[in-house]
Amino acid sequence: MLTRPTHGRNHEEHAMRYSTAIEAAEHHTDKARARHQAAEQELADLYDKQASICQSITRALEQRAATTRELAAAERREADTRHSA
């Protein structure tokens, strides 16, 4: 013959299920927090790379501008030399 669990037993089972649910939620929260921190670090690394690339581009553009100015000055000197000769 089957008997129904006692009232105290129901509370005990409920408490165990509740405790297990809390532990599972904490585990998922910890995993999500770790993924979030990893994503933040990856984003920070990408921003650092972007800044480095921008600095490299800026240096290259400055170098090109300086070279262009030097070339223009050399061409002017050459033209002046031809006209004065």
Q: Whose structure tokens read 């262009």?
A: 68
Q: What is the DSSP string of 26-60?
A: HHHHHHHHHHHHHHHHHHHHHHHHHHHHHHHHHHH
pLDDT at residue 32 greater than cutoff 80: yes
Where is pLDDT greater, at 83 or 52?
52
Quick one: what percent of the chain has pLDDT higher than 90?
A: 78
The arithmetic mean of pLDDT across residues 47-69, rounded, is 99
State CA 48 to chain mean position distance: 9
CB neighbourhood size of 68 (10 A): 10
Q: Whose structure tokens read 């650092």?
A: 48
pLDDT tens-digit profile of 50-60?
A: 999 999 999 99
Query: Residue 25 is encoded by which pair of tokens?
Result: 């939620």
